[in-house]
A and B are shown apart, each in its own frame.
Chain A
Amino acid sequence: MSKPFLSIERLTQKFPDGQGGELTVFEDATFGIEKGEFVCILGHSGCGKSTIMNILAGLAEPTSGVVKMDGFEVSGPSLDRGVVFQNYSLLPWLSTLKNVTFGVRARFPDWSKAKVEEHAREYLAMVGLEGDVVHRKPSQLSGGMRQRVSIARAFANHPKLLLLDEPFGALDALTRGTIQDELLKIWGGTEQTVFMITHDIDEAILLADRILLMTNGPLARVAESVEITIPRPRNRTEIVDHPNYYAIRNHLVQFLGQRSKELAGQPSGGADQRPTAVSIDKTEPPEKAPEDPAAPLRAVNE
């Protein structure tokens, strides 16, 4: 069996619960992500999404289990895994441009100063930041602009894997839309693999190839892997007309609203906890649809 590009194997995370006991956030979580894939993970607040992402980034160590990228075990942070933090994490004493060159210099230490700056400006321009704005400090930028800088900083480093933790959570709908489009544009032109946390269902459908659904914690599970069977390029106003859109959306809403609670709190009993693959496709004639283990799950939308 060939391993996926990113392979999460039997990941377990426990924290002290503050009363002498242990809190198991998730147990034996096992899933993979293919090269070039855009994967979103959806789940209620507190279920352990950020914990998973910090482990993928190498910023935190799991209690047990391994993460492998390209066959190599992840140990500690790496320039191959770029992170866009929820709160942007720009360095406030540096200008916008310097925040990006900071990353580029770390990635390409033998580049000349001029080349580093040119590269940084190119990526800032890609997210719509040009001209005098690049000399402003983060405190002089709006939330949306800061998030763009953060995305430019991550993309400019050409990481093999891009990790985004609720990157648009604090933005207004309009700004959100623009940056989503920019993210898709940059991702489309590269070989990059994206793993993104969100709690916005529509955002996930617009962006993702596949959505991982997490049940509530403690003892959360990555319960399902839902394929987004809507062809690209997608456009936020047109995808709603696609026959699969509402079927997928209802499935996700149903999961988050109900089954995320029902499926919560089950110990793994030592077995790998793999997500069930779900593919909802209304464009095919129903009689041709093959029976698969996901069929009962599909029933809820029909």
Chain B
Amino acid sequence: MTKTLSVNHKAALLSIIMLVVGLLIWEAAIPAQKAAEELTEYERLTGGGAPKAGVPPPSQVLAKAWEQLSNPFYDAGPNDKGIGIQIGYSIYRVLTGYFLAAMVAIPLGFLIGMSQVAYKAFNPFIQVLRPISPLAWMPLALFIIQDSEASAIFVIFICSIWPMLINTAFGVAGVRQDWVNVARTHELSPIKTAFTVILPAAAPTIITGMRISIGIAWLVIVAAEMLVGGTGIGYYVWNEWNNLDLTSVIFSILMIGVVGMLLDAAFGILQRAVAYAE
């Protein structure tokens, strides 16, 4: 039987073995740390000796995950909300900033991709603005917008706009002239050409840009929420760190990874839907 396992099955089996071995090593390493009985003065003062301060074993993280995920949406005041609510806030900010960015980037990318003049006119701005870390905008955004919520959304907007803009322009500019000629010989209007020929032809490239953008947006939201505070998964991580609840920190880190993976997978599905073979 084992000899007939497919590549996928073998890989899955290997993944599980790695996970189990990793967790066992982690679990085994923790008591050794706790066994260091002689705590230095410094450790005692900084809480190094307190039970919560140590790195928790995976069993504890799993217990935490079970506890949190069985009631993800409880709300017991500003500093005690369920993980579901915190992730919900983060996703809401990411999607808002992201869709605002898409609404600017995709039409603008079309324009830049279709027109040499527009490309040359916009290019210097894009080249300068693109390498700026999105968090560098934060102080300016806070000052001008005067609202931490909107500032976080702005930061998402500004970081997700570039890959979408550049990929849309690139995809549109690269549409085969033959296909454009097909539209021309059928006397399609420019709008119809854009929607029935250029958009489907450039869609795989555009969606790739959108997929890169959503990944970046999810990376940035955690950092942005650590800065602006209040709600969201980034704030949650930071808050639990201040509480020295490392179990929650590790659990929320894992959740960030899982949500990021799901967002990426959603765009993966979209990408497959618009893909075509020449």
Contacts and interface: CB of A to CB of B under 8 A. Distances in A.
Contacts of B186: 79, 102-103, 106-107, 157
B278 A139 contact: yes
A137 interface: yes
A82 B178 CA distance: 14
Nearest to B199: A93
Interface string B29-70: 000000000000000000000000000000000000000000
A82 B200 CA distance: 23
Nearest to B186: A106
Interface residues of A, number: 24
Contacts of B178: 85, 87, 89
B197 interface: yes
Contacts of A85: 178, 181-182
B interface bracket (residues with beta carbon within 8 Å of A)? 10 to 19
Interface in A70-94: 76-79, 81-83, 85, 87, 89, 91-94
A77 B196 contact: no
Contacts of B276: 92-93, 137, 139
B269 interface: no
Contacts of B277: 92, 137, 139
Interface string B190-216: 000000110011010000000000000
Nearest to B275: A93
Interface string B212-231: 00000000000000000000
A294 interface: no
A83 B185 contact: yes
Q: Is the interface of A mostly helix, strand, loop or mixed?
A: loop
Contact of A57 (B185, B188, B196, B278): B185
A77 B193 CA distance: 14
A14 B211 CA distance: 46
Given A106-B186, A106-B188, A92 B278 contact: yes
Contact of B184 (A59, A94, A103, A137): A59
A92 B178 CA distance: 12
Nearest to B178: A89
Interface in B239-278: 274, 276-278
Interface in B154-204: 178-179, 181-182, 184-188, 196-197, 200-201, 203
Nearest to B200: A93
A78 B182 contact: no
Interface string A39-58: 00000000000000000011
Contacts of A91: 179, 182, 197, 200-201
A76 B274 CA distance: 31
B194 to A, nearest CB: 14
A106 B179 contact: no
B47 to A, nearest CB: 60
Nearest to A157: B186
Contacts of A157: 186
Give the one of B178, B182, B188, B196 with max A CB within 10 A: B182
B272 to A, nearest CB: 13
Give the one of A81, A83, A93, A157 with max B CB within 10 A: A93
Contacts of B184: 58-59, 76-77
Contacts of A139: 276-278
Nearest to A153: B182
Contact of B185 (A82, A92, A93, A94): A82
A51 to B, nearest CB: 14
B181 A78 contact: no
Give the one of B179, B186, B201, B278 with max A CB within 10 A: B186
Given A91-B200, A92-B278, A77 B179 contact: no
Contacts of A102: 186, 196
Contact of B201 (A81, A87, A93, A137): A93
B185 A77 contact: yes
Given A91-B197, A94-B200, A106-B188, 12 more contacts: A57-B185, A77-B184, A77-B185, A77-B187, A79-B186, A81-B185, A91-B200, A92-B278, A93-B203, A102-B196, A103-B186, A107-B186
CB-based closest 3 A-B pairs: A139-B277, A106-B186, A93-B276
Interface of A: 57-59, 76-79, 81-83, 85, 87, 89, 91-94, 102-103, 106-107, 137, 139, 157
20 contacts: A59-B184, A76-B184, A78-B185, A78-B187, A79-B186, A79-B187, A81-B185, A85-B181, A91-B182, A92-B277, A93-B201, A93-B203, A93-B276, A94-B200, A102-B186, A102-B196, A103-B186, A107-B186, A139-B277, A139-B278
